Structure formats: structure tokens, C-alpha cells
Amino acid sequence: MLHGHGDDMYNCPQAVKSNFSSNIFGATDLSGLREHLTARMDRLSSYPEPEPLTLEAKWASAHGLHPGEVCVTNGATEAIYLIAQAFRHARSYVWQPTFSEYADACRIHGHTVKAIFTAEGIDDRADLVWLCNPNNPTGEAHTKHLLSKLIEAHPSVCFVIDQSYAPFTCEPLFTAAEAAATPQVILLHSATKRYAVPGLRLGCLTACRRLSDRIRAQRMPWSVNALAIEAGEYFLEHTPLLQPSIEELLSETKRLIDALSVLKIADIWPTDTHFFLARLRTGNAPALKKYLLDTHGILIRDASNFEGLDETFIRIATQTPEDNDRLIHALDEWRQAAFS
Amino acid sequence: MLHGHGDDMYNCPQAVKSNFSSNIFGATDLSGLREHLTARMDRLSSYPEPEPLTLEAKWASAHGLHPGEVCVTNGATEAIYLIAQAFRHARSYVWQPTFSEYADACRIHGHTVKAIFTAEGIDDRADLVWLCNPNNPTGEAHTKHLLSKLIEAHPSVCFVIDQSYAPFTCEPLFTAAEAAATPQVILLHSATKRYAVPGLRLGCLTACRRLSDRIRAQRMPWSVNALAIEAGEYFLEHTPLLQPSIEELLSETKRLIDALSVLKIADIWPTDTHFFLARLRTGNAPALKKYLLDTHGILIRDASNFEGLDETFIRIATQTPEDNDRLIHALDEWRQAAFS
């Protein structure tokens, strides 16, 4: 397992006042969910369904799928590990830099893992191609059109597309129903990201029946806890209340990027979502992370351990305007100290 | 996955008034835990530790172990699947009849699985021997003395001993520290059973450092949800308040068994814990289960799908005296109808 994911507050002796380190919008209003789960706390006293079939059927119905095309998991992470397990010893291409768990899961399950960095890296020797769209950590989204062409060009390859950040972009992406109608595509979905509940552990994958059955056959019973199932049903009915306005969040992302650009401390990657990658022009990520935490109680993601990146890289997920202003001011102070 | 575990209330359109179907003491007072978790609901907004190292260290310290000898899991079920995965393609002997997940996990991970029914079935061709102690569904406990002799007699065999029900017997069993000092033994522990929280998903395995490291290397990050980790820390401080008196529970079990024996409807296996197996002298388990549910809102475990058992077997876990009286009266009614 990679050491140093984002949201590593548990490692911080200091109080974290603003957390930019995981790709989660921390100001999501969860009061309704917390109230709902508090009222359902008795669910802890019964076993959840061994397979979360009821939630799968409801999710499927809401997204125009057959229930057998949905596999609800213990966070999207379980989906990643189940896919790797179902395709044990496969040849997996991982489109880097990206979330480290695809390669980690593949290695645990005996895959041959190859890093690719462009679409041209894909060839028909691959059994699986793993990509994240929009991508973590770059924020870049490939359009449905580009991916469709790639999928068509490689009919023997199964594409695992992690769409955890789909609710946070305006780019046209595959719907779950479109992907399930394509026998070579597995989509990953994350309640963690969409509803800002990383502690709950809820995600799912969607795919055609044949692929979904193959993967579900690997799943242990009761992998999804009872409150996560409760929350999943709540989300299906309350999504509009729980999601920030994507237009506002992307416009705030642009404001933050513009303000950081003025500081000239880093080159910022173009992004199609609410987080972005930046390469420092001076100093390094571990030192900057420490400075921001010690001096300002601000947590950012040191992105040096993504494959293909080095210790000049940081990743930042846009938060509220107030939090973002604090970050801008803190980075301005750091800049003045660093360049003086 | 086996269909028809206990606690299948999610399949019941009727209200269940008394639940004897899972090996859980349903009257455990969880009010303090529910209050604690309600106050910590903000934990849903942060990632849990990728590996629950803090809880592992505290658990280890409470049980006289090194932190590296504890692997906290998403219910004891994840421990079972991780062990099967770490020993992929092994030759596993499963001491039947027992919990179906040992064999299921082994099959998913390519083991050769052999059912054994007595200690004499163990030989040195086994890589792993899986047993549950006290055993589910029989309630029988093997003493530490007997198991020590078996382990000593088969030094090349790794014994996976599921002690989920250890807190519910007075028989002398291995402590976690004793097992970790024996390089061939892996113990499983279950918060689900001990604290009656099957919806939470929390368990662990303990073993010597070498075995524990091997198994932990298979674990995905964030497999244990944030509230389960919170609860785990709470349990370490509040165990005496959360456990029923084992003497009272076993004495009530004896009273229930004696009352059922008087009805002469079934042969009851000797048990060392709070649940027991019974073989009906007339009728069958599916029909009796349906009768009790439809007529009395009582749920029992149809034990016909345990390997080695047939549809004359039921399993019952002792509940409160009032619940137990309701079961006795309901079975008496059924007897009168069946024999009239």
C-alpha cells in the first residue's frame, strides 16, 4: 500500500483548519444525512444484506440499469480490488499519473502492470486499461467522444474507467447505462467523493451483466456496512440537496487558480474539475506541506508519490471562498519568505 | 456465496418480534455506543486511516500483543477472506459442520478444500486447518489442551481458529497473546458477536508477526469504516458494560434447552455456549421456520445449508427469558399441531 494518501489528518498533531488535501468538497451540508443516520442507529444491531441487493436494485432503477449491472462496494476501493481479483494475472495498463490503488490492487492480484502516459500507449496486448476520468491528480477529463474512439479501436481490451469525479465536471462523460451497454467497459462510482463521506465507505461499479457477474462472484458477504447502505438509499432521494453547485465550484476553482497564478510560485495544470495539480517553481512539496500545516493549519496534498511525479508536485482541491482565501494568503506569505 | 445465513430479517415481510436466528445476544445494551457514535458522526467526513494502525496498537496493548500482531478488519469475514487470499492455492481442511465462509473464501482463492469431521481427519498434507471454537452451528468448544496437542502433532500445518464466540463460553481457550506466540496459529475475533453490532463490520485477526504481515499485505486501504474504528476504541474502554453476564446467559441457555427437551420435538446437541443445534424429530426446518415467522413473528435459523447437515436441523441462539418463553410456547403449539 502506498504511504501518503490525501486527507492524512490522522498524522497531524496540529489542528487542521482548512483541508485541501483530499479531492472532497468539505463544505457539503451533511446535517440531513447525520440526522437520518442517527435515527437509524438501530441498524447496527442487524446484519446488513450479505449482498446489498436492495440498494443495487434501487440504484439501478434510478440510473436506467438492470440490477445485475450494479455492484455496490465498500467504497470504490473495494470495486478496484474486486476487478483486479476477477482478472487475476491479467496484463494491466495504468494511465499514469493517477490514483495509486489501481496499480496496487493489480500487483496484489498478480497482474503484469505497465504504466502508460498517453492514449497512444494503449495496444491490444492489454487485457485491462485503467484510467480515472476526470483524472486524479491532474483534474483532466477525457471526453466521451475520445474514449469511445479508443474503446472501439481496441475491442479486445476491457476499460476500467473510474468516474468518481464525474459529478464535479461539466465535460460530457459516459452515463452508467451507456457504459453497461458496452461490453468492454467498467465504470466506478464513489459516494465518498460525490457526497463528501469518506468515513462511510460506499461506492459501486457498473458494467454489462457478464462483467458484473464475474466481479460480484469475488465479493465477500457483508462487505458494505449497514449505515452505508442506509446512506446509499438516502442519497438516492436527496442528491440535489447534497451536491454543491458544480458551476459555482468550478468558477471558484478558476478564481483560486487565477489568484495562485499571480503569485508565480507554481505551474498549474489545466483542470476540468474542482481540484488541480501544480508544480512548484521553488522549494518542494513536503517542505511546503509542513510549512502550511505548522504555520497556518492548512493541509495540502504532497503529490510527490504519484507515479511519474516528483517532489515538486502538489495537489489542491477547491474549498469554500474563505478557505481558498486563507490558502492564497498563506502561499503569498510563503512566497515572500522563500524569495526574500 | 451461500444463500441463507442467519439474521435474514431483510427477507421477511412480517415484523420479527423475537430473533433467534443469528448467534447474537440481541438484548445487549447499546445505548451508550449509539450515543457515542451519534456524537462522532462528523467522522464520516474524513477518511479513516488507510490501515487502522491506531486501533490496532490500542487493541494490541489491551491484549498484551505487539501492534504488528493484530490486523483489524471489516468484520471477521474480511479476516477470513484475507487469510484465504494470503494462502492462495493452499490445501485447506475445514472442520465441518461450520460457518460456510471458510470454505467459500478458500474456493474463491483457488484452495483445494477438504471437509473433515473429526480431529483424526487432520494430517500433514494440509496447509491450513480451519475451525470455529466454540463452533458454529454446534456450540461445541474444544479446550485449549486438546487444540495444543493437535497443533503440536502437526507442526507444518497452520491452524485458523475462529474464536468469535470466545466471550460466550466458560471453557478455557487460547488468549490472543498465547496464539501469537505460536507461529502456526491465527485467531479470529469478532466485535459483531461480542458486542452485538453486526451492522458495524468490525473484527480482527491476531497471529505472530510473520503471519500477520503476510496477511496484512493483502488488505486494501480504508476497508474498515470510520464509525467502526470509533466503536472499536469505545469497546476497549467499555467492555464490562457491554457484555451480558456469561454465567447468566449460559444458565438461561440451559433453561431453554431443558424446556425444549421436555417437548420431545428435537434432539439437542450438547453446547458450550449460548447457541445450540437441534435435529427435529418430525417436520423440517424450512417449514418450521416459516410457521414460527408467520404465526408468531419468531425467526430461527434453518441450519439445513451447513455442510454435513440436512433439513431436519435448526439453530437457536438464546435471547432474554421473555423471548425464550415465547419460543417455548410457540414450539409447544407447533408440536400439538404437528402431532395431533
pLDDT digit string (tens) for B135-147? 999 999 999 999 9
Phi, psi of A114 (to 5 degrees): -120, 130
B-chain CB neighbours of A5 within 8 Å are 47, 50, 221
Residue with cell 417455548: B328
B52 in helix, strand or coil? coil
The closest CB to that of A47, out of B33, B41, B199, belongs to B199
User: In this structure, what C-alpha cell is assigned to residue B223?
Assistant: 476497508
The per-residue pLDDT for B209 is: 98
Q: Are B225 and A221 inside 8 Å of each other by CB?
A: no
How far is B7 from chain A, CA to nearest CA, in Å?
Answer: 6
Chain A closest CA to B78's CA: distance in Å? 7
Q: A321: cis peptide before it, omega within 30°?
A: no
Choice between A243 and B163, residue whose per-residue pLDDT is larger: B163
- Chain A CB contacts of B222 under 8 Å are 75, 77, 198, 201
> At B199, is the pLDDT very low, low, confident or very high (cuts 50, 70, 90)?
very high
A137/chain B closest Cα distance in angstroms: 17
Residue-wise pLDDT for A48-78, tens only, equals: 999 999 999 999 999 999 999 999 999 999 9
**A198 phi, psi to nearest 5 deg:** -65, -20
- Our CA angle for A82, A85, A86, nearest 5°, is 85
Look at residues B88, B120, B118, B122 and name the one whose alpha carbon lies nearest to residue B106.
B88
CA separation, residue A237 to residues A43, A74, A230, A240, B76 (Å): 19, 20, 11, 8, 32
- Chain A residues in contact with B44 by the CB 8 A cut-off are 30, 33-34, 37, 197-200
Identify which of A21, A5, A30, A20 has the alpha carbon closest to the alpha carbon of residue A194. Answer: A30
Three-class DSSP labels, chain A: CCCCCCCCHHHCCCCCCEECCCCCCCCCCCHHHHHHHHHCHHHHHCCCCCCCHHHHHHHHHHCCCCHHHEEEECHHHHHHHHHHHHCCCCEEEEECCCCCHHHHHHHHCCCEEEEECCHHHCCCCCCEEEEECCCCCCCCCCCHHHHHHHHHHCCCCEEEEECCCHHHCCCCCCCHHHHHCCCCEEEEEEHHHHCCCCCCCCEEEEECHHHHHHHHCCCCCCCCCHHHHHHHHHHHHHHHHHCCCHHHHHHHHHHHHHHHHHHCCEEECCCCCCEEEEEECCCCHHHHHHHHHHHHCEECEECCCCCCCCCCEEEEECCCHHHHHHHHHHHHHHHHHHHC
Evaluate if residue B310 carries a pLDDT over 60. yes
Size of interface A-B (CB pairs under 8 A): 148
**pLDDT higher than 80, residue B1:** no
Looking from the CA of B200 toward its CB, the CA atoms found within 13 Å total 29
Specify the DSSP class assigned to residue B41: G
For residue A214, give Cα distances in angstroms to A68, A71, A88, A121, A176: 11, 11, 12, 27, 18
So what's the pLDDT on residue B243?
85
Residue A203 φ/ψ, nearest 5 degrees: -155, -175
- Name the band, by pLDDT with cuts 50, 70 and 90, for residue A145: very high
For the cut 80, the answer to whether the pLDDT of residue B196 exceeds it is yes
Closest CA in chain A for residue B73 = A223
> Which segment of A1-5, A270-274, B150-154, B201-205 scores lowest on mean pLDDT?
A1-5
Q: Which residues of A touch B301 (CB under 8 A)?
A: none
Q: Provide the pLDDT for residue A244.
A: 87
Summarize the confidence of residues A86-108 as an average pLDDT: 98
Among B201, B215, B230, B235, which would you mutate to test the A interface (most chain A Cβ atoms within 10 Å of its Cβ)? B201
Query: Which cell numbers hold the place of B71?
Result: 490486523
User: Quick check: B149 pLDDT over 90?
Assistant: yes
B334: three-class secondary structure by DSSP: helix
Q: Do A26 and B43 touch (CB under 8 A)?
A: no
CA B93 from chain centre, in angstroms, equals 19
The neighbouring-strand residues paired with B114 are B93
Directed axis angle between helix B101-108 and helix B75-86, to 10°? 40
Just give the CATH number of B28-236. 3.40.640.10
pLDDT at A11: 76
Note whether B164 and B191 are within 8 A (CB). no
d(CA B103, CA A270): 51
Q: Å from A37 to nearest chain B CA?
A: 8
Ranges in chain B annotated CATH 3.40.640.10: 28-236
Confidence of residue B123 (pLDDT cuts 50, 70, 90): very high
Q: In whole angstroms, give the CA distance from residue B14 to residue B126.
A: 45
Question: For residue A240, what pLDDT is reported?
Answer: 82
The gap between the terminal CA atoms of chain B, to the nearest Å, is: 39
Residue A76's nearest CA partner among A173, A195, A163 is A163
Kindly report the nearest CA distance between residue A319 and chain B, in angstroms. 14
Average pLDDT over chain A, rounded to whole?
Answer: 95
* Section A307-336 average pLDDT: 96
Confidence (pLDDT) at B320: 97
Nearest to A296 by CA among A331, A261, A340: A331
Tell me the average pLDDT across A132-157. Answer: 97
Mean predicted lDDT score pLDDT of chain B: 95
Do the chains contact at B221 and A77, CB–CB below 8 Å? yes
Of A7, A43, A45, nearest to B26 by CB-CB distance is A45
Residue A338 burial (10 A CB sphere; 0-12, 13-18, 19+): middle
Determine the Cα–Cα distance for residues B205 and B71; give it in Å rounded to an integer: 5
Contacts with A34 from chain B: Cβ below 8 Å:
41-42, 44
Question: What is the distance of C-alpha A329 from the center of its chain?
Answer: 28
Query: What pLDDT is recorded for position A3?
Result: 61
Distance (Å) from the C-alpha of residue A197 to the closest C-alpha of chain B?
A: 5
Alpha helices in chain B (DSSP H): 31-39, 53-62, 75-86, 101-108, 144-153, 176-180, 191-194, 209-216, 226-242, 246-263, 285-296, 321-339
B231 by DSSP, 3-state: which?
A: helix
Nearest to B1 among A34, A45, A51 (CB): A51
Please tell me which residue of chain B has the smallest CA distance to A41. B34
CA–CA gap between residue A225 and residue A201 (Å, rounded): 8
pLDDT over 60 at B2, yes or no = no
pLDDT (tens digit per residue) in B168-186 = 999 999 999 999 999 999 9
Mutate to test the interface with A, among B8, B45, B305 (most CBs of A within 10 A): B45
If you average pLDDT over residues A192-197, what whole number do you get? 96
**Are A43 and B197 inside 8 Å of each other by CB?**
no
Q: What is the pLDDT of residues B96-111, one digit of tens each?
A: 999 999 999 999 999 9
Residues of chain B contacting A222 with CB distance shorter than 8 Å: 75, 77, 198, 201
* Distance to chain B for A17, nearest Cα, Å: 13
Which of A22, A40, A41 is the best mutation test for B, with the most CBs of B within 10 A? A41
What percentage of chain A exceeds 90 in pLDDT? 92
At A2, the pLDDT band (50, 70, 90 cuts) reads: low
What is the Cα–Cα distance from A152 to B175, expressed in whole angstroms? 58
Q: Looking at residue B339, what is its pLDDT?
A: 74
Taking CA atoms, A194 is separated from A260, A275, B251, in Å, by 26, 13, 51
Contacts for B338 with CB less than 8 Å, ≥ 6 apart: B265, B282, B283
The closest alpha carbon to A104, from A220, A2, A219, A215, belongs to: A2
CATH architecture of B7-26+243-337: Alpha-Beta Complex (3.90)
Write down the ipTM of this complex: 0.95
Say if residue B16's pLDDT is above 70: yes
Return d(Cα A295, Cα A259) in angstroms, integer: 20
A171 pLDDT exceeds 70? yes
Task: Give the residue on B whose Cα is nearest the Cα of A86.
Answer: B108
Pairing verdict, β A185-190 and A203-207: antiparallel
DSSP state of B65: -
> Does the beta-carbon distance from A199 to B226 stay under 8 Å?
yes
Q: Is the pLDDT of residue B164 over 80?
A: yes
Per-residue pLDDT at B3: 60
**Best residue in A9, A34, A227, A299 for a mutation probing chain B (most B CBs within 10 Å):** A227
pLDDT of residue B338 exceeding 90, the answer is no
Instruction: Give contacts of B10 with chain A, Cβ < 8 Å.
Output: 46, 49, 54
Residue from B176, B228, B227, B184 nearest B205 by CA: B176
Task: List every span in chain A annotated with CATH 3.90.1150.10.
Answer: 7-26+243-337
* Nearest C-alpha in B relative to A230: B199
Nearest CA of chain B to the CA of A61: how many Å?
19
What are phi and psi for residue B205, nearest 5 degrees?
A: -120, 150
Q: How far is B340 from chain A (nearest CA, A)?
A: 37
C-alpha–C-alpha distance, residues A48 and A42, integer Å: 12
A200 and B22 within 8 Å at the Cβ level: the answer is no
- Which among A78, A197, A221 has the least Cβ separation from residue B77? A221
Determine the Cα–Cα distance for residues B25 and B253; give it in Å rounded to an integer.
Answer: 11
Answer yes or no: is pLDDT of A199 > 80.
yes
Residues B50-74: what's their mean pLDDT?
98
* Closest Cα in chain A, distance from residue B222 (Å): 8
Q: Do A44 and B201 touch (CB under 8 A)?
A: no
Nearest to B199 among A7, A9, A43 (CB): A43
Cβ atoms of residues B48 and B200 within 8 Å? no
Give mean pLDDT, residues B285-303: 96
| Beta bridge pairs of residue B319 | none
Asked whether the beta carbons of B216 and B53 are under 8 A apart, the reply is: no
User: Helix (H, G, I), strand (E, B), or coil: what is residue B114?
Assistant: strand
Say whether A198 and B47 touch across the interface (CB within 8 A): yes
